[in-house]
């Protein structure tokens, strides 16, 4: 079904679309002549090749995670450039944190619990996490977890699980209120 737009509406529609195009073009910034790579006009440029070590892990050892459940670290963050692996006891709900510096991808896999997950490499500043619930029959058993990355890249992995009963997250520090008064 075709609908014909009458003349007064057609003119105002065309005017609005034209104005929107002009505003859109005006909103797009362009660097001034002579701007260099790291100038404020261009913005910072990520350089993956300069980064060789991971910053301190940004997630605390105990934290509120998915559905406000309390999780705690069971495998401290490990790093490597060659394929590496370790054994872990399978729990009902686990969190795998994976990070990578360089190009390509990092992969964590464990055939025993049907885990295979990868993340893209970058500057290593933000690890990615996945909540993983293995089959009930695997819970309590020990499985082998393998971590690999693209040649020339560096990986980092950490594993968390539900915290035992009675473990609570420390509350955030309440900022003090300081008031400055001046008398005249």
Domain that includes residue 52, residue range: 48-162
pLDDT of residue 171: 75
- Number of compact structural domains in the chain: 1
- The secondary structure of 7-36 as a DSSP string is HHHHHHHHHHHHHHHHHHHHHS--PPTT--
Torsion angle of the four alpha carbons 2, 4, 5, 7, in this order, in degrees rounded to the nearest 10: 160
pLDDT of residue 48: 46
pLDDT of residue 164: 87
CATH number for 111: 2.60.120
pLDDT of residue 76: 93
Residue 25 lies in a domain: no
Residue 79 lies in a domain: yes
Angle at 177 between CA 172 and CA 178, to 5 degrees: 140
Residue 134 lies in a domain: yes
Residue 104 lies in a domain: yes
pLDDT single digits (tens) 86-135: 999 999 999 999 999 999 999 999 999 999 999 999 999 999 999 999 99
Residue 169 lies in a domain: no
Give me the tens of pLDDT residue by residue for the chain, a chain 184 residues long: 566 656 666 666 566 666 665 555 554 455 555 555 545 544 544 444 566 789 999 999 999 988 888 999 999 999 999 999 999 999 999 999 999 999 999 999 999 999 999 999 999 999 999 999 999 999 999 999 999 999 999 999 999 999 988 888 877 776 666 666 666 6
pLDDT of residue 168: 83
pLDDT of residue 79: 94
Residue 72 lies in a domain: yes
Residue 180 lies in a domain: no
pLDDT of residue 4: 64
Longest dimension (CA), the chain: 76
């Amino acid at each position: 079904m075709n609908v014909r737009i009458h003349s007064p509406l057609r003119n105002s529609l065309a005017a609005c679309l034209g104005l929107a195009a002009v505003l859109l073009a005006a909103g797009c910034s362009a660097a001034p002549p002579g701007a260099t790579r790291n100038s404020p006009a261009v913005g910072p440029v990520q350089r993956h090749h300069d980064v060789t070590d991971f910053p301190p892990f940004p997630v605390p050892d105990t934290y509120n995670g998915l559905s406000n459940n309390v999780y705690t670290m069971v495998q401290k963050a490990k790093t490597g450039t060659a394929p590496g692996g370790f054994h872990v006891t399978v729990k009902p709900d686990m969190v795998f944190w994976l990070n990578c510096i360089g190009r390509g991808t990092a992969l964590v896999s464990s055939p025993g619990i049907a885990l295979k997950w990868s993340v893209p490499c970058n500057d290593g500043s933000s690890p990615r996490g996945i909540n993983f619930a293995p089959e009930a029959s695997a819970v309590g058993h020990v499985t082998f977890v393998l971590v690999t990355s693209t040649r020339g890249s560096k990986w980092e992995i950490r594993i968390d699980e539900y915290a035992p009963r009675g473990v609570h997250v420390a509350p955030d520090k309440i900022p003090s209120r300081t008031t400055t008064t001046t008398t005249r």
